[in-house]
Amino acid sequence: MNDIPLHQTGLDPEDWSQTRALGHRMLDDMIDWLASSRDRPVWQRMPDEKRAELRVPVPAGGQPMAEIYEDFRRLVLPYSSANEHPRMMGWVNGGGNAAGYLAEILTAIFNVNCGGRDHAAIEVERQVIAWAAEMVGLPPQTTGVLLTGSSMANMVAVLVARRAALGEEVRTQGLGAARLTAYASSAAHGCIPRALDMAGIGSDALRLVPAGPDYRMDMSALRTMVAADRAAGLRPFLVVGTAGTVDTGAIDDLGAIAGIARGAGLWFHVDGAFGATAAVSPRFRPLLAGIEEADSVAFDFHKWAQVPYDAGCVLVRHPDLHIRTFAQSLAYLTHAERGLAGNPPWPRDLGPDLSREFRALKVWMTLKAYGTQGIAGVVETGCDVARYLAARIAREPTLELLAPVTLNIVCFRVASGAQDLNALNHEIVVRLQETGIAAPSTTTIDGKLAIRAALFNHRTVCADADALIDGVLALSSSRTK
Ligand SMILES: *Cc1c(COP(=O)(O)O)cnc(C)c1O
């Protein structure tokens, strides 16, 4: 039998030189796009005609890559989510970095499956987890896994805590009659109730502990609520401390929570989605005191540490419990002593995913390229710009700061010139986004709609903070005339 000619098999190109040339061009174009971000509007809405252009039936035949790339340049690239831009100040968004995006090219072509088995990428991930544990101060035996983000990382921690509370049976029998309760501050992220929901415990099982005037969890309220639930026959099992709340950047008193958790036999989890990154800064590390006592920590490399999306991380202090929460013995995947199927435990024994991309490479390269000092520099600059912004707000008679600035988040508003200040400030934020001047987001602080500037992008400087305030003032005077 004649073999099939090589050039007729599979999807590889017949002529690699065209692929190579197009790849080089894409990289050049994207670096130009990134380098010129400051010169364009922060955000542009994708026009309806272009959205409509995407809606076509699934292609039956192929199309040259160069044409598809033109579609990308025309239909996708101009309408980014804006997080590459120095005046992106909304939500909690990382800006990416060169070591990270170059790593992504390698990851895509290397294309290894990181669910497990005996290969180098697994070792790179283990190293990244060891570094992560070292950065937040957890002990060397800590296990962990990279996930899409802190939503999943918090979810994994809830499942390990659930396993710790109820034992092996919970995995096969479910919750049964156990009435578990968990505790987090009222400023905790929405993914915490969602994790309890997804874990079958139910979001009502999450007790929202009031936050004090500093937006940190009230410790005596926590003690009272745990005792009341226990007296009512419920089973408190988990307390979540937040290291960096989304609204204001407040950091719970993690040391105090650790003490209460120990006394009450609760699992102590820290949601440090962005705030845990501040542990690498000698200046901010003291604010996180107590994180090193956590049973588990969730955080993101894709936020303050600027690793390209997505890169979440969960760390668990108790390797055995962690593995016993996820490991299964699927016959066709049982670990071998030798060969490609060896090298346990695998990432798939530590989290919900089997097939996984090589997320660890971009984290490994980012940490090697900048070191913890480089990341600390990003953290400290963001906090300095936030302080500069708060000082400018204090000098502007029509503006009002709405919450203390702990880290890099500044909540303020235009405090005069309209009956309905909430509507006015909301409109100002939308206009800032639509005109492309800057992209803060909004939040509600004590019933007041706040303009929320979160300085996460490593490209943001004090002039960008001034551009935001100049924009706010110009829009508010034009609205209130
Ligand atoms: C962003 C964030 C999350 C969710 O993380 P994702 O990576 O978006 O899933 C959870 N908690 C806090 C405090 C956050 O800032």
Residues 264 and 350 in one domain: yes
Phi, psi for residue 47 in degrees, rounded to 5:
-65, 155
Residues 54 and 179 in one domain: no
Query: Residues 286-309: what's their mean pLDDT?
Result: 98
If you average pLDDT over every residue of the chain, what do you get?
96
Residues 210 and 162 in one domain: yes
Residues 138 and 280 in one domain: yes
Q: State whether the Cα torsion 374-389-450-427 is positive or negative.
A: negative
Which is it for strands 143-147 and 312-316: parallel, antiparallel or unpaired? antiparallel
Q: Dig out the tokens for 249 from the structure.
A: 């950047």
Q: Dig out the tokens for 79 from the structure.
A: 């309408």
274 Cα to the center of ligand 1, angstroms? 7
- Partnered with residue 300 across adjacent β-strands are 312
Residue 443 lies in a domain: no
Residues 283 and 229 in one domain: yes
Residue 80 lies in a domain: yes
> Residue 28 is inside which H or E element, if any?
helix 16-35
Residues 212 and 330 in one domain: yes
Task: Determine contact, residues 161/238, Cβ cutoff 8 Å.
Answer: yes
pLDDT tens-place string over residues 221-231: 999 999 999 99
Nearest to 361 by CA among 104, 119, 134, 135: 104
Cα distance between residue 412 and residue 305, in whole Å: 25
Residues 135 and 29 in one domain: no
Residue 347 lies in a domain: yes
Residues 204 and 285 in one domain: yes
Task: Determine contact, residues 44/79, Cβ cutoff 8 Å.
Answer: yes
Q: What CATH number is given to the structural domain containing 33?
A: 1.20.1340
Domain final position from 357, 372, 401: 357
The pLDDT value recorded for residue 480 is: 60
Residues 215 and 303 in one domain: yes
Residue 286 lies in a domain: yes
Domain final position from 357, 375, 399: 357
* 334: confidence class by pLDDT, cuts 50, 70, 90: low
Query: Residues 85-91: what's their mean pLDDT?
Result: 98
Task: Determine contact, residues 45/434, Cβ cutoff 8 Å.
Answer: yes
Domain final position from 336, 357, 378: 357
Q: What CATH number is given to the structural domain containing 222?
A: 3.40.640.10
pLDDT tens-place string over residues 212-252: 999 999 999 999 999 999 999 999 999 999 999 999 999 99
Q: Dig out the tokens for 114 from the structure.
A: 């990181």
Domain housing 51 = 13-93
Cα distance between residue 175 and residue 75, in whole Å: 48
Query: Residues 45-71: what's their mean pLDDT?
Result: 97
Residue 179 lies in a domain: yes
Residue 450 lies in a domain: no
Which residues have CB under 6 Å of ligand 1? Answer: 92, 149-151, 189, 191, 242, 244, 246, 271, 273-274, 300, 312
pLDDT tens-place string over residues 347-371: 999 999 999 999 999 999 999 999 9
Amino acid present at 468? L
Residues 26 and 76 in one domain: yes
Residue 433 lies in a domain: no
220 Cα to the center of ligand 1, angstroms? 26
* 2: confidence class by pLDDT, cuts 50, 70, 90: low
Task: Determine contact, residues 382/456, Cβ cutoff 8 Å.
Answer: yes
pLDDT tens-place string over residues 431-472: 999 999 999 999 999 999 999 999 999 999 999 999 999 999
Residue 287 lies in a domain: yes
Residues 247 and 303 in one domain: yes
Which residue has the least CA distance to atom 2 on ligand 1? 273
* 337: confidence class by pLDDT, cuts 50, 70, 90: confident
Which residue has the least CA distance to atom 14 on ligand 1? 273
Amino acid present at 295? D
Total number of domains in the chain:
2
